[in-house]
Amino acid sequence: MQFAPRPTRTVSAPSVDAVVTTLLRFGFHEHERKEGGAVLKKPGDRFSFRAHQRPLEARVRTAGPGEVELGLRYDQFVAFDTGDLARQLDRLPAAFD
């Protein structure tokens, strides 16, 4: 059960596959693949106080022609988020250009 927010961004990317390939380079592993979308997970330390060291889950799906919706959330219970997820998500679209 998760109560923390799940920020999403719509990014310009040629396809879901291109975004998945980029996320694989950032340490994510493909967990589930569906038509038009994918779920990737990044392992981490469940007891860390730093957001970039916690387990993460990325959800990718087609949002329209040339656009992909990217969502990021913690892959563990987190009571609140201090904005770290949104900051991490804001850095990722630069990697798709």
Token pair for residue 23? Answer: 């996320």
- How much is the average pLDDT of 69-93? 75
pLDDT value, residue 31: 93
Each residue's pLDDT tens digit, 24-76:
998 899 999 988 899 999 887 666 555 556 788 899 999 889 899 998 888 76
Evaluate if residue 13 carries a pLDDT over 50: yes
Q: Are 96 and 19 in contact (CB under 8 A)?
A: yes
- Sequence spans of domains, the chain: 8-96
Asked: is 8-96 a CATH 3.30.310 domain? The reply is yes
Q: The tokens of 29 are what?
A: 């592993």
Alpha helical stretches, state H, the chain: 16-25, 84-91
pLDDT value, residue 3: 45
Predicted structure pTM score: 0.76
Per-residue confidence (pLDDT) for residue 28, from 0 to 100:
92
Helix, strand, or coil here: 92?
Answer: helix
Q: Report the SS3 class of residue 76.
A: coil
